[in-house]
Amino acid sequence: MVHPSPRPGAALSILFAGQSQTVPEHRMGPQKVDYVLIHTVIEGTGWFRCRERHYDLGPGDSFVILPGELYTYQADGKDPWRYRWIAFRGAEADRWLAAAGIDAERPIVKGGHETALRAMTAVERCFREKEWTADWEAEGWLRLAFSAWAGANRPAGPPTAATAKSVAAAEADRAARWLQAQAAGPVTIARMARELGYHRTHLTKLFHAEMGMSPIRYLQQLRMERAKTLLLEPLRIEEVALSVGYADPLYFSKSFRKWVGCTPTEYRQGLGRT
């Protein structure tokens, strides 16, 4: 059910909510979205894949799809998922996710599902009723869902100031997340620095000190790892190249060979999977 009356420019905008009984082996991806999408499993089993990691999931589990992250998921062939979902975006989204301890390296929440499912059901209902106050009501329910997810994911609460990341590490992580979100398109370090509010040279040095490599090398690593995942799917080489930010398939193939040690075709045939 799509939001009937979103507020323009809201710090948090809920886009849609719904539920589904999937068919056996129902599959989505590999693909990316530009909003946050959370599924909570009611019953059945299946798997979710993000950043080369595979997660087997069942009743009570939630999986979080983040903007710009390449993902794939599939319902089981014999016991397919029934789940609810909710999608949202906005400046508040990153803050809520960080507080709940959810990111691309930790996209799974075990628990909190009873409250979350009740909240998602209520959001779908208020969207269906199309009241002009639906936006506020939906945000209130989403806050309750996040309270449950955060409590399940971080029962001891967020890290204390003594254990929190340093400012430099946090900024390097923010730059890395920016690169992850932009990896499928044209990227320049000047643009990244401008959008993050840093001088290019300062940001490059900070990133290298914290991540152990330059932003450009990090971007190339990110693209090549995503390319390896996509090459396992029934996609043409040209489609894989475009999906990881290369408009020229020949240049992509040369870059892949230099990085991985074999051509994309050879990798697909198994020579690169040792």
Does residue 233 have a pLDDT over 60?
yes
Asked if 80 contacts 129 with a C-beta cutoff of 8 angstroms, the reply is no
What's the mean pLDDT in 239-260?
93
| 161-170: long-range pairs with CB below 8 Å, 24+ | 168/206, 168/209, 168/210, 169/210
Give the separation between CA 141 and CA 138, rounded to whole angstroms: 5
- The token pair that represents 193 in the structure block: 């620095």
- pLDDT > 70 fraction of the chain, expressed in percent and rounded: 94
Pick 224 or 90 by higher pLDDT. Answer: 224
72 pLDDT higher than 90: yes
Residue 179 has pLDDT above 50, yes or no: yes
Cβ burial 24-47 (10 Å sphere, 16+ → b, else e): eebeebbebbebbbbbbbbebbbb
CB of 142 closer than 8 Å to CB of 123: yes
In this predicted structure, the answer to whether residue 124 has a pLDDT above a threshold of 90 is: yes
- Asked if residue 36 lies in contact with residue 89, where contact means CB atoms within 8 angstroms, the answer is yes
Note the pLDDT of residue 159: 63
89: which residues sit within 8 A by CB, 6+ positions away?
A: 12, 13, 15, 34, 35, 36, 67
pTM (two decimals): 0.61
Between the alpha carbon of residue 169 and those of residues 1, 104, 172, 205, the distances in Å are: 39, 16, 5, 12
Question: In this predicted model, which residue has the larger pLDDT, 162 or 108?
Answer: 108
Confidence (pLDDT) at 220: 93
Among 9, 8, 10, which residue's Cα sits nearest to residue 142?
10
Q: Residues 212-238: what's their mean pLDDT?
A: 92
Q: Which amino acid makes up residue 225?
A: E
Confidence of residue 163 (pLDDT cuts 50, 70, 90): very low
Predicted confidence band of residue 13 (pLDDT cuts 50, 70, 90):
confident
pLDDT surpasses 60 at 270: yes
In this structure, the strands spanning 61-65 and 53-57 are: unpaired
The pLDDT mean for the chain works out to 89
Start-end of CATH 2.60.120.280 domains in the chain: 13-153
> Mean of the pLDDT values across residues 104-116?
93
- Residue 165: predicted pLDDT: 56
Was domain 167-268 assigned CATH 1.10.10.60?
A: yes
pLDDT at position 167 over 80: no
The CA–CA distances, whole Å, from 170 to 166, 179, 211, 212 equal: 6, 14, 11, 15
For residues 119 and 133, the model is more confident at 119
Identify the band that residue 184 occupies on the pLDDT scale cut at 50, 70 and 90.
Answer: confident
What's residue 162's pLDDT?
Answer: 43
**pLDDT, position 20:** 96
What's domain 13-153's superfamily in CATH? Regulatory protein AraC (2.60.120.280)
Higher pLDDT, 69 or 271: 69
pLDDT at 136: 87
Q: Which part of the chain is CATH 1.10.10.60?
A: 167-268
pLDDT level of residue 262 (50, 70, 90 thresholds): very high
